[in-house]
């Protein structure tokens, strides 16, 4: 009714209630909005704990996120990185990217820590090395269009952007589902696969 997109409404709520520079509080405020006001398809706190645990186990230096949306997953990833580690996040929708940029900076992460790249993943991935200086990623978080998962994984492979022993974490592979990606990951012989059971967001 207001003509203001819900992503912008969520950001206004963050501005009013979140503590600037406190990523944990920014995520908690996001969660409050999503539980009590409007649903946003962010990672959420339940799956967020899986992401946090894997980050702590792997301690990656270079992280690539495909699908920034409003920046929830980006803040979650960035707060779990060691000093000197860097996060590259890719969002196709310029309006969502504009909101995410504000959320990321509100949480206290500068461009040295988090680089937001706006554009389709199939165009951005081939340019990551030359244009953005990402030689290889140790940790990849896929949370964009499920139909793009397999294509983008194979793009990362063909451009040699996966570091040896890299972790690829893909959200919602069972529902809404990314069956071709899942089948490839299980049968191509390059990956050891584990499915983490979780509920849908919020």
Return the active site residues. Answer: 143, 146, 171-172, 201
- Cα-based distances in Å from 72 to 88, 161, 164: 14, 24, 28
Contact 18, 43 (CB under 8 A): no
| C-alpha to C-alpha distance for 189 and 195, rounded to whole angstroms | 16
Residue 95's nearest CA partner among 2, 170, 11, 1 is 11
Q: Which residues pair with 62 in a beta bridge?
A: 86
Residue 76's nearest CA partner among 50, 112, 57, 58 is 50
177: left (phi over 0), alpha (psi -120 to 50) or beta: left
Q: Is the peptide bond before 176 cis (omega within 30 degrees of 0)?
A: yes
Q: Which ranges constitute the DSSP H helices of 59-173? A: 72-79, 94-106, 121-124, 128-132, 149-158
């Amino acid at each position: 009714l207001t003509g203001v997109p819900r992503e912008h409404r969520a950001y206004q709520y963050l501005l009013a209630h979140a503590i600037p520079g406190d990523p944990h509080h920014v995520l908690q405020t996001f969660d409050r909005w999503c539980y009590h006001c409007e649903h946003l398809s962010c990672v959420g706190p339940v799956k967020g704990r899986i992401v946090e645990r894997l980050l702590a186990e792997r301690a990656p230096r270079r992280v690539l996120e495909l699908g920034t949306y409003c920046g929830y997953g980006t803040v979650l990833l960035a707060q779990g990185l060691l000093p000197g580690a860097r996060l590259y996040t890719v969002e196709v929708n310029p309006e969502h990217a504009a909101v995410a940029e504000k959320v990321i900076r509100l949480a206290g992460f500068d461009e040295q820590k988090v680089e937001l790249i706006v554009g389709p993943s199939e165009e951005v991935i081939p340019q990551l090395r030359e244009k953005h200086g990402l030689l290889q990623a140790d940790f990849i978080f896929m949370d964009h269009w499920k139909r793009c998962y397999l294509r983008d994984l194979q793009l990362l492979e063909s451009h040699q952007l996966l570091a040896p022993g890299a972790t690829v974490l893909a959200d919602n592979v069972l529902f809404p589902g990314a069956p071709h990606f899942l089948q490839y990951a299980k049968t191509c012989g390059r990956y050891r696969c584990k499915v983490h059971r979780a509920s849908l967001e919020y």
